[in-house]
Chains A and B, each alone.
Chain A
Amino acid sequence: MTLVRRSAALATAGALLAGCAGGPGGGGGKISDGKVVLAVLTDESGVYADLSGKNAVEAVKMAVADYKAKYGGKAVAKKIEVVDADHQNKPDVANSKAQELYDRQKADLIVDVPTSSAALAVATVAKNKKKLFIDVGAASTELEGKQCNKYTFHYGYNSYMLAHGTGSEVTKDGSKNWYIVYPDYAFGQDMQKTFSAAVKETGGTVVKSDPTPFPNDNFSTFLLKAPGLNPKPQVLGAMQAGGDLVNLVKQYNEYKLRDKGVGLATGLMFLTDIHSLGPDALAGTRFTDFWYWNANQGNRAWADKFQAKTGKRPTAVHAADYSAALQYLEAVQRGGTDKSGDVVKQLEGHQVNDVFTATGTIRPQDHLLVHDAYIAQVKPGSEVKEPWDYEKILKTIPAAQAFQQPDPACKL
């Protein structure tokens, strides 16, 4: 028993000591711990490993290199480290890892974090620790809505941008009648709501919308009834993502729905999805993208550098990761410190002009990066001139219309 009591006393004493030492890092330099640590918390083994994953880490390293090259000896952040961790798409792992990255690895910024539940879990940690978090891979608008906080930024895309873009632009293009199938969970339900509203706003009709189980590998029930609906839908709006989307598209082609006059528009698709399915399977499909590597010379030059490192072309998420890390470092440079509160002030309202976007604004009301989005169409295989060149940009949606208005529920 004495042993227990003594160890308990020891534990209490230690706890007190740890409490004293656990305060904010002692003053001195303007850069905490003498270095800036950028942490990439991502999915390195699951469904998002291709569109983000290890190559997101490379993108962030490229941002660090560009920052150093730009400022050289004048750089405020002299020593910059990039660390990474795999959250396995599990919110509890993301939550513990985020704490560990901030506390132990002394991360000043966590970036990436696909999967909405994981992103929201990390946002909570960022709020508690008062450290920066820039999410790139998650679609939930809650990040800039009910769950927003002072230290969390949302970069790249969200479900509103995806659904509203495709929904309104494809309808304006003349495809008035829609049949929407959406996976029956938070993301799919959000998409369906925004999508239907966008279609109706632009004068279209949603003939029918059906929830599908999630995850699902057989969509035949829904696909077979599509041509028989009255009025006949001109477009099938598929809100599925990742593996479900792949299954759906395969069956869509098997039933030759395109030949039967039902086009395809998808809610969420990445370059890597097209790559794995092959452009022919998706030829003609319209969707909203927010960056494309072959859209202009600048993007292409950056994509060449990326390819030299990874052997692949970057997805829009990779470019957004690069931009997020770069803008963070630029904010540190402008403010002259990596203190979270100061960096937040530097980022709020900042006009972003880099390879990811030339028209971006970090909205101060809800910390959402608003920028141009694009309506893209998948090229048929015969038009693909070089590997990875799968997309044709049809139209630009200006930043002001691409994203939703700030949610009044967000109180920073």
Chain B
Amino acid sequence: MILSRLAGRPVLLVIGLVAALLLPWFVYPPVALDIACWALFAAAVDLLLGFTGLLSFGHAAFWGSAAYATGLIAVHSGLPFPVAVLGGAAFSAVLAVPIGYLSIRLRGIYFAMVTLAFAQMVYFVANQWRDVTGGENGLQGIPRDFFGVDLSDPFFFYYAGLPFILAGLFVAWRIVRSPFGRVLVSIRDNSARARALGYSIDRYKLLVFVLSAALSGLGGGLFAIGHGFASLDGVYWTTSGQAVMMVVLGGIGTLWGGAIGAALIVELNDRLATAGFQETGIITGAIFIVVVLVFRRGVWGTARTLLER
């Protein structure tokens, strides 16, 4: 009884917000920012995977190129960091138009492969264009300007960056709850029928692809400012894979599950780095297998089912 009443949305929303606000008190602040950025990235991927039925395996292209774009804006113009971050997100959105236009014609595994191919192209360009991106060395020394306010302490920067993440998550949530979002779900469940009902499904898919890319870019840009550099790792395919893994861990089609998956993986990676154990991949892999086998709906998906019971 109490549990089911607690499951009412406002309560959960408040718990989520409190968790977001208190995060840097419990985990190391730079790691907390990583979690927040990855949470938005995972939510953006879930927008495609969970609500439109499109498995993108190339979202690193948007996360990583936004990181470079944000970094370049911050380094060369000296504008305050919010402008750079928004610029990075806009860059990702623009980049997503041609990539999305060509990819959304395909479905299932073909869509995943084509997005992966585009992401690898972006990786190649970033690696070769050394004068701009720094190649393998990465784009270093990205400043964190904010009208002369000293944000060098990661604890304060977390709170400076959090509004962007929350705004991004809010946008994702609004998309899902809007009529537009309902159309997406109908495309996922039965695209032939959605088309028969008169929806131009390609246009819907392209729009959600671009929105998802922009949100990924928002996370990637903030990540770059938070770390002070953008590197090739950001555009590498493992980054795409990690985001998908977070969504699956947290629960596909739950939106907030991605945040839980992000928290789990980022915190785990961080702890394993000093645990003295040499094969970090084995542990994350094992957890992934257990979750997929035991909690089919992911951590959050399973928890929600239990709460609603």
Contacts and interface: CB of A to CB of B under 8 A. Distances in A.
Contacts of A116: 136-137
Nearest to A49: B278
A373 B289 CA distance: 49
Contacts of B232: 117
Interface stretch (B72-80, B182-190, B223-231, B247-255): B223-231
Ranked nearest first, the 6 interchain pairs of A and B with the lowest CB-CB distance are A186-B136, A186-B135, A185-B136, A91-B231, A117-B138, A96-B30
Given A18-B155, A88-B280, A93-B273, A186 B137 contact: yes
B34 A92 contact: yes
Interface in A196-233: none
Given A116-B136, A120-B137, A124-B141, A95 B229 contact: yes
14 contacts: A7-B17, A7-B21, A7-B22, A8-B21, A84-B276, A85-B274, A88-B269, A91-B233, A92-B234, A96-B34, A120-B140, A124-B141, A128-B152, A140-B137
B128 A184 contact: yes
A189 interface: yes
A87 B269 CA distance: 10
B130 interface: yes
Nearest to A89: B233
Interface in A375-402: none
A340 B138 CA distance: 27
Interface in A79-118: 83-88, 90-93, 95-97, 99-100, 104, 116-117
A25 to B, nearest CB: 15
Of A3, A96, A184, A186, most B-chain CB atoms within 10 Å: A96
B37 to A, nearest CB: 10
A129 B153 CA distance: 10
- Give the secondary structure class of A's interface: helix
Interface of A: 1, 3-4, 7-8, 11, 14-15, 18-19, 22, 44-45, 49, 54, 83-88, 90-93, 95-97, 99-100, 104, 116-117, 120-121, 123-125, 128, 140, 142, 147, 184-187, 189
B31 interface: yes
Interface residues of B, number: 44
B127 interface: yes
B156 interface: yes
A87 B270 CA distance: 9
Interface string B203-239: 0000000000000000000010001110111100000
Contact of B229 (A3, A85, A86, A121): A121
Nearest to B233: A90
B233 A104 contact: no
A288 B232 CA distance: 28
A172 B143 CA distance: 46
B159 A11 contact: yes
Given A4-B18, A49-B278, A189 B270 contact: no
A91, A95, A104 — which one has the most chain B CB atoms within 10 A of its CB?
A91
B22 to A, nearest CB: 7
B25 interface: yes
B154 interface: yes
B227 A92 contact: yes
A86 B233 contact: no
Contacts of B135: 185-186, 189
B134 interface: yes
Contact of A97 (B25, B138, B153, B273): B273
Nearest to B34: A96
Given A4-B18, A15-B159, A92 B231 contact: yes
Nearest to A92: B227
B153 A100 contact: no
A128 B134 CA distance: 21
Contacts of B156: 15, 19
Given A8-B21, A45-B279, A95-B227, A186 B134 contact: yes
A135 B223 CA distance: 25
A147 B139 CA distance: 11
B14 interface: yes
A47 to B, nearest CB: 13
A89 B18 CA distance: 34
Given A11-B21, A92-B234, A142-B140, 8 more contacts: A1-B14, A14-B25, A15-B159, A86-B273, A91-B227, A95-B30, A120-B137, A185-B135
Nearest to A6: B18
A352 to B, nearest CB: 27
Interface in B8-31: 14, 17-18, 21-22, 25, 28, 30-31
Given A15-B156, A19-B156, A104-B28, A93 B269 contact: yes
A189 B128 CA distance: 10
A101 to B, nearest CB: 9
A100 B134 CA distance: 26
B231 A121 contact: yes
A123 B130 CA distance: 20
A54 B279 CA distance: 13
B136 A11 contact: no
B30 A121 contact: no
Contacts of A91: 138, 227, 229, 231, 233
Interface string B109-148: 0000000000000000001101000111110110000000
Contacts of B134: 186
